[in-house]
């Protein structure tokens, strides 16, 4: 039996956010799973997102690269941001991360 160690990469406030992160990690070839702090059904419960220990660095980097500013998140929530503008912001964040090494 393979008892590979897993680590918490982030904690989110709901299952929808956790599922979105699982999709993000899967798109980059990073296995992930969710543990919740409650057995109750429903979307509003705190979730721990875990990845294999050997992938924790890649997962943290991916999370950092996909973070948006408060202004960008507000614009997105209000329906004011275009996907093109958000794509440009993400491209810029990726360029900066690449330049930093």
Question: Which pLDDT score, from 0 to 100, does residue 1 have?
Answer: 46
Residues 51, 30 contacting (CB under 8 angstroms): yes
Tens of pLDDT, residue by residue over 27-77, are: 889 999 999 877 666 656 788 999 999 999 999 988 888 775 556 555 555
Buried b (16+ CB within 10 A) or exposed e, 31-56: ebeeeeeeeeeeeebebbbbbbeebb
pLDDT at 95 over 70: no
Taking alpha carbons only, the member of 30, 59, 38 closest to residue 15 is 38
Question: Which pLDDT score, from 0 to 100, does residue 75 have?
Answer: 58
Question: Which pLDDT score, from 0 to 100, does residue 3 have?
Answer: 83
Instruction: State pTM to two decimals.
Output: 0.63
């Amino acid at each position: 039996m393979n008892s590979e160690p897993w680590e918490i990469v982030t904690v989110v406030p709901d299952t929808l956010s956790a599922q979105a992160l699982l999709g993000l990690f899967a798109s980059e070839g990073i296995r992930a799973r969710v543990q919740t702090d409650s057995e109750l059904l429903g979307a509003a419960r705190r979730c721990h997102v875990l990845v294999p220990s050997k992938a924790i660095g890649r997962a943290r980097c991916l999370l950092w690269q996909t973070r948006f500013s408060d202004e960008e998140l507000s614009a997105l929530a209000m329906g004011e941001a275009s996907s093109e503008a958000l794509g440009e912001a993400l491209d810029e964040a990726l360029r900066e991360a690449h330049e930093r090494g």
